[in-house]
Amino acid sequence: MLNLRMDRRTSDVTIERTENPDELSITARVCPAVEHIRKLSTPLAPNYEWITSVVHETICEDTPWRAEFSNWDPQTGACIQHFVRKEAAK
């Protein structure tokens, strides 16, 4: 008999809204893409995190919003993605 077991958890990413309506935080404890690359024993490209940070910054260009990216861990892909209204950040 051939047996397969697939176990997927989504709780590794949380999206949080604070009481401030002008803020949104996405906390990724494990990035599935980075996890997959690590499992393949393929080296992670330098600046891999730019996929997220640059895209978010570009999306926010010419909008009232600013994207921030922090706590990047290239081993797990963990990071904090933060969106905040520019006026509110002042």
Partner 1 sequence: MISCTEFIPSYSLLFSWIEEKVDYDEVVRYWEYISRNYLEKLEAAVKEKGLFGCWEYWKHSLNEEAADFVMEMHLNEDGTGYMTSDMRYCPSMGFLLECEHFTPYHAYCDHCSVLYPPILKKYGIRSGSRKLDVQRAACGGSRHMDEPPAPEIAAAGWQAALKELENAEAEGITAWMD
Binding region for partner 1 (CB under 8 A): 1-11, 35-36, 39-40
Residue 69 parent element (H or E): strand 65-73
Q: Which is nearer to partner 1, 2 or 19 (CB)?
A: 2
CB of 56 to partner 1, least distance (A): 17
Q: Which is nearer to partner 1, 39 or 90 (CB)?
A: 39
CB of 59 to partner 1, least distance (A): 15
CB of 13 to partner 1, least distance (A): 9
**52-65: buried (b, 16+ CB within 10 Å) or exposed (e) per residue?**
bbeebeeebeeeeb
Q: Which is nearer to partner 1, 1 or 87 (CB)?
A: 1
Largest CA distance in the chain: 63
- Establish how many alpha carbons lie within 13 A of residue 73's alpha carbon, considering only the half-sphere containing its beta carbon: 13
